[in-house]
Structures are given as structure tokens and as C-alpha cells.
Amino acid sequence: MISLVMTTYNGKEYVREQMESFLRQTLPPDEVIICDDRSTDGTYEVVADFIRTHGLGWRLVQNAQNLGWRANFFEGIRSSTGDLVFLSDQDDIWHEDKIAAMVSAMEGRPEIQLLLSGFHPFYRDHSTILDYPGAKRDDGSIEKIPLDKHGLAPTYPGCSFCFRKELREKMVAYGSPKITHDAQLWLLAVLDGGLYVLHRRLMEYRRHEDAATNANKNLDRESQLYGCNYRIWTLERFFERVRPEDSAEADLRFLRRMKKWLEARAALYETKKLWKVAGILPYLSCYEKPRHFIRDCLLAFR
């Protein structure tokens, strides 16, 4: 059984085009859940009319109150029931073989817990930007994302995800509606060696300045502290359940070091004491990019 979860909020301008791309799928989903977060521009009515006009059995939910996009996605994922779950934003356009290609790639490969797809990013004027990892290759190969400092944080958007129900259950058990869904799913999958990418562009990925998931909009001391603490907590749960024979000692050493780095960052954000910067210095190599250390310092004392 295949589930598709889409969240909406004030996306009236684009949502119909996305839903039409769902109807064109060569392998249609068995369950479609659309969670509207109290749109004020008529998005909910557009979606309801589309479902009614096409006689679809899709489930449309309107939240009792505005939850915010993180919690809205979390609740949508929690309510899905499929063996495989696809995620969708309201403003992209899926290629007609997106579901079929990703399902085919996962068949007979139970080691894949979370599969990412390639995509083609574009702006309103249809100009393209090709510096996204998911836009660079289109050869149909499948590649494992390694467990290293570059692989611990998402480099693909959640709308490129397809994951197994076991990962959904793990996210519900270990997750939080305060953390972005893609970061949670990504971290849980890569820790267990189950994160893979299908190098095939399977959707048009619309980019615009008012995108809810624009990374620069989520940079503040509180969110960074919460993110550090969530990853620390997740690593602690991983260490509790992992068996030494199931993980290479080098991987475990790496993760213990990353945990100490996260703890040092959290201490800086929590106390806002200048001397806490010294606690991070032994772990500078844990940063994906050197400038992120400077960002931590600036945000902590903002």
C-alpha cells in the first residue's frame, strides 16, 4: 500500500497543478492525505472542489487551528497507513513516473529505509538553478548516503522522500512536531545505514522567496538549541538500541564525537557565555562548513 501525504497553507496559486500531477501518475497511490493548516486564501476550498469534481477518495483534513508547517507535516505523516509513504509540497509538479520509479527502486531492497529522488529546481520565470545535489545527476543509479558529517543533515528536500512504514513508526516514537520532518527522517535513516538516493529527476521543484522551508527563515537561537538537543536525544536512543556487532567501531567513535560537539554547541546556545566557545574548539572539524562555527557564535549572542 502506497500513501501520499501533502500539506497545504495558502497555496491556492499552485496546488491544483500539483494535484493534477498526482492524477497523472502511472502508479497511483492507494492513500492520499492532504492536511490544510487553516489557509486563508481559499486553498482548502480549491482542494475540496478538486477532490469532489474528480470523484476521488482522498482524505482532506483541515486543522482546528494553525499548527505551523512542521507540526502539520508531522501529523500528516503520523496519520498515514501505507507500507511506503511519499511526501509532497503544495507547489511542485511531479513527473508521471515518480511513484513508479521510486517504488521499483525499493522493491527487493529492504535495506533502503528512505529513498530520495532527484529533481529539477525552477523559479516562477522558469529559470533554473542547478547547484542542488538533487539536480546534478540523472543517470538512474542508486547511491547510499554515507554516515559522516556531511550525511547527518538533509541536503535533499522532504518532497523528494519515499520511506518505509518502519521509519514512520520510528519517527513517531522518537520524533517531535517541533523539528522539521525531513531532518528527523533523514537522521533516523542514515544512523541505521538505510539512506539512499535515486539519481533520477522525478519532479519539478518550485523555488520562491516565500517558501515555508526556506532555511534562512529558521535560523535563531531557540531553534538551533532545540535542534541540537533533538539530535543529542536521538543519538542517545541510537546508542541504547544498537548492538556493537551491528555497527563498525569507527562509526560509533564518529557518532560519539558528534554527540560531544552537539553538546558543546547546545551549552553555548543555552548559557550564552563567551567562555563556552572554548568547548566547541576541539570539535571544529565536525562542522560541515567552517562558516557554520561563526554562525553559531553570532546566533548564540544575538
Query: What would the grid cell of residue 62 be?
Result: 483541515
Q: Which of 92, 145, 144 is nearest to 120 (CA)?
A: 92
Residue written as cell 511531479? Answer: 94
Residue with the larger pLDDT of the pair 118 and 241:
118
Instruction: Provide the 8-state DSSP code for 65.
Output: S
Q: What is the mean pLDDT of the chain?
A: 89
- What length is written for the chain? 302
Q: How far apart are CA 68 and CA 178, in angstroms?
A: 9
**pLDDT (0 to 100) of residue 121:** 87
Class of domain 2-213: alpha beta
The share of the chain scoring above pLDDT 70, in percent, equals: 92
Q: Which of 51-65, 89-103, 170-184 has the lowest mean pLDDT?
A: 170-184
| Cell triple for 84 | 511506503
The residue ranking higher by pLDDT, 122 or 48, is 48
Beta-bridge partners for 157: none
Both ends of the chain: CA-CA distance in Å? 48
Q: Which residue from 116, 104, 13, 4 is spatially nearest to 60, judged by alpha carbons?
A: 4
Q: What is the pTM of this model?
A: 0.87
**CATH 3.90.550.10 domain span(s) along the chain:** 2-213
**Least trusted range by pLDDT, from 19-28, 31-40, 48-57, 233-242:** 233-242
